[in-house]
Amino acid sequence: MTENKSNENEEKKITITIRGIDKDLYEKISNKAKQLNTTVGSLVNEAIGNLLASIDIGIEKTSKIVDTTIKAASEAIKTPLSELKSSITTQDYIIISNIGEITVSKNDLESSEKPLIFVNVKRIVFADNVTEELIKNKVRAIKVSDEVIIPKTISSMTIAQKSQFVKKITSK
């Protein structure tokens, strides 16, 4: 099973030449990839996913996100990866981003003071105690995710309406 998923992911990858990339930026991302023990392609894919999600949120919101992202990125260069925070709060909502997997419980959603936007979270699992009403009220959007797993009591359409670039929605 894992081998098939790995093969599927490999089949989706292609080699692309992009003209006009700033040499200094490329060197910085290349060095960051080495520090994080990953590839330039992985970091660029993540950056493109985040950019697309940011554009989709809206022009007026994007400027806030860009400012926050630039500040977070400059801090990230100075801060060890283990100390980085995975969420950035803005005026209207909370962004949870760049996580491999997260399980979201009823308590997590109820305790959030603002609606949540999940960006570039590979796998999101909503616990069995999460209700459709909570998702409608507390989840603003899900952007760039491999899989979202929901309880059978929640309609896939509720999640689909809030999703962009989500590969799979699964009921458990």
Confidence at residue 5, expressed as pLDDT on a 0 to 100 scale: 52
Joined tokens for residue 42: 């992985």
Q: Are 44 and 157 in contact (CB under 8 A)?
A: no
Joined tokens for residue 20: 């006009």
Would you write out the chain's pLDDT as a tens digit for each of its 172 residues? 445 555 555 667 788 888 888 888 888 888 888 888 888 888 888 888 777 766 665 544 545 655 666 666 655 555 454 454 444 444 688 889 889 999 999 999 999 999 999 998 999 999 999 999 999 999 999 998 999 999 999 999 999 999 988 999 999 8
Q: Are 143 and 122 in contact (CB under 8 A)?
A: no
Confidence at residue 142, expressed as pLDDT on a 0 to 100 scale: 93
Whether 14 is in a domain gets the answer no
Whether 88 is in a domain gets the answer yes
Confidence at residue 74, expressed as pLDDT on a 0 to 100 scale: 58
In the sheet that holds 163-171, the strands lie side by side as 87-89, 94-104, 116-126, 139-150, 163-171
Q: Is 77 helix (H, G, I), strand (E, B) or coil?
A: helix
Confidence at residue 170, expressed as pLDDT on a 0 to 100 scale: 96
Number of domains composing the chain: 1
Whether 36 is in a domain gets the answer yes
Residue 152 DSSP code:
T
Confidence at residue 86, expressed as pLDDT on a 0 to 100 scale: 45
Whether 78 is in a domain gets the answer yes
Confidence at residue 162, expressed as pLDDT on a 0 to 100 scale: 93
Whether 3 is in a domain gets the answer no
The pTM of the full predicted model, rounded to 2 decimals, is 0.54
Confidence at residue 84, expressed as pLDDT on a 0 to 100 scale: 44
Q: Are 65 and 87 in contact (CB under 8 A)?
A: no
Whether 122 is in a domain gets the answer yes
Q: Residues 19-61: pLDDT tens digits? A: 888 888 888 888 888 888 888 888 888 888 777 766 665 544 5
Confidence at residue 105, expressed as pLDDT on a 0 to 100 scale: 96
Whether 130 is in a domain gets the answer yes
Whether 5 is in a domain gets the answer no
Domain region containing 152: 19-171
